[in-house]
Amino acid sequence: MPLIASVSGIRGVFGDGLDPAALVRYASAFGAWLRRQTEARPLVVVGRDGRVTGDVCARLVTATLQAAGCDVVDAGLATTPSVAMGVLKHEADGAVILSASHNPAEWNALKLLDRNGEFLGPDEGAEVLALADEDVSAHTVGYEDLGDYETDDLLPYHVQKILELPYVDPDAIRQRGFKVVVDGINSVGAFAIPAMLEALGVDDVEVLNGDVTGRFAHNPEPLPAHLDGITSRVAETGADLGVVVDPDADRLAFVEDGGRFFGEELTQVVAADFLLGKKAGPVGTNLSSSRAIEDIASKHGQEVVRSAVGEIHVVRAMQEAGAVIGGEGNGGVILPDLHYGRDALVGVALVLQHLAETGQSLSDLRAGYPTYAIAKHKLPLTDDLDADALLDALAGRYEGRVSTVDGVKVDLDEGWAHVRKSNTEPILRVYTEAGTPEAADALAERFKAELLDG
C-alpha cells in the first residue's frame, strides 16, 4: 500500500509502505528542513501513541534525527497535544508524533509540527517531501555534529498549564462529585485522561481498555457503532458521563448520563458554549462540522469562520479571524489560550467546568441544543474511480449552491452534504447533515449514488 502524505502527516501500513527505510527517509528530510529554519542546532520533541509498532518507529526516528544533526527530547508514550505542549515547554524547533490517529492498529504515521507546536502547512510540508526525494546521506552529519538525546515526561506540564487557565476551577469540579468512565482504547489516553480527571478533582474514575498495549479493543475511531462497551458501562454504573478518545487523544467524545452517546459533533459545541460565556470572539471550525456551532455562536453574539478540513487549515482560519476557540466536528477542541492544536485533555476540563458551573448534566445540555444528525459515510477509491472527475461532476450538477474550498460542499434546504478526498485514507468521505439520523443517512446514500452515476 502506498504512503499517504498530506497535511495530516505521512501515513501507511507498517511493513506495507511504511517500513524502516521510509521512516528514515522522512525523518531525515524533516531534520534537514529544520536545520534550514535555524542557525543553531535544531531541537526536536518526539512522542508516540501506544501502537505496537510505536517503539520501533520511535527508535528509528530519534536516531535518524540525531544523525541529521538535531538534538532530541524523547517524550516516549505521549498524547499528541502533550507533544505540542512539549514544543512550547522546551522552546523546540519542531516535533514528530508517531501516531496514525483513528486509523487501525496496523497503521502508523509521522505527524510533523513546527516551532509553534502547530502542524506544518501545505507549503512547509511540500518542502519536507521534496527533501525526502534526496539521498539520506545528503542530510547526515559527521560524528562531531551528532545530536544529543534526552527524555522528558510531558504530561505533568500539559496538565499544569490547563489548571492555570483562569476559567478552570478544580474546586468547583470536585464539589460536583462526578463519576466518570473512560475508554482508553489501550493507548495513551488510558493514563493521560485519568491523570487530567484526578487533577480536576474527579475521584471516581473507571477506566475501560486501560492497558497501553496498542492492541485496540475495538475500532479506534470514536463513533457510536464502536462504543457499546462504554455506553453500557455508563448506564450500568449510573456514571455522570463517559469520556472517549482516539489513540493519540486529540479527539474527544462523550457519553452522557444514562449511556447515550453524546456525540463527537457536540464536543466543540459544548466547549464553545462554555468559553464564549467567558470571553468574546469568533469560533473557527471546518466545512464538515455541524450547523449547531453556528447556533451556539449566534446565541453568544459571535460569528463562525469555516475552513477546509484538517487541523492546520482550521488553525490558520482561527488565527486570521482572531478566534477564541475552535475545533472540528470529529471531536477536536482547539483553545488558543493553551496552544493551537486539538486537545482532548483541555476539552475534558472545559466541559466539566461548564457542567460544574451550570449544575446541569450532559443530557440537560443536549436538550437545550439544536437537533441535527450527521451521517459519516465512506466511498472507497478504486483504480477505476477518478476522484477529481467525480467531484467536478458533482459540483457542476449543483452549480450556485456549492463550495469547492475543500472537495464539494452542497448546501440544501434540508441540510448539507460534503464530499472530499480523505487526508488519511484512500477514500472519498461523504458527510451529510439533516434533521434526523434517517434523513442524514438517506442524503449520504443519495450523494454516493450521484457520485457513482457521475
For residue 232, indicate whether it is catalytic.
Answer: no
Torsion angle, CA of 192/195/199/203, rounded to 10 degrees?
130
Cβ neighbour number for residue 320 with a 10 Å cutoff: 12
Torsion angle in degrees (nearest 10) through CA of 284, 374, 420, 319: 0
For residues 341 and 80, what is the distance between their CA atoms, to the nearest angstrom? 9
The Cα 419–Cα 452 span in angstroms is 13
Q: What are the CB-based long-range contacts (under 8 Å, 24+) for 399-405?
A: 403/287, 405/287, 405/307, 405/308
Catalytic, out of 101, 288, 307, 422: 101
Grid coordinates of 207: 477506566
Other CB atoms within a 10 A radius of the CB of residue 178 amount to 20
Q: What is the DSSP string of 208-269?
A: ES---SS--SS-SS--GGG-HHHHHHHHHHT-SEEEEE-TTS--EEEEETTS-B--GGGHHH
Contact 275, 335 (CB under 8 A): yes
For 166, half-sphere exposure in the C-beta direction (CA atoms, 13 angstrom radius) is 4
What is the C-alpha to C-alpha distance for residues 381 and 421, in angstroms, rounded to an integer?
9
Which residues are catalytically annotated?
A: 101
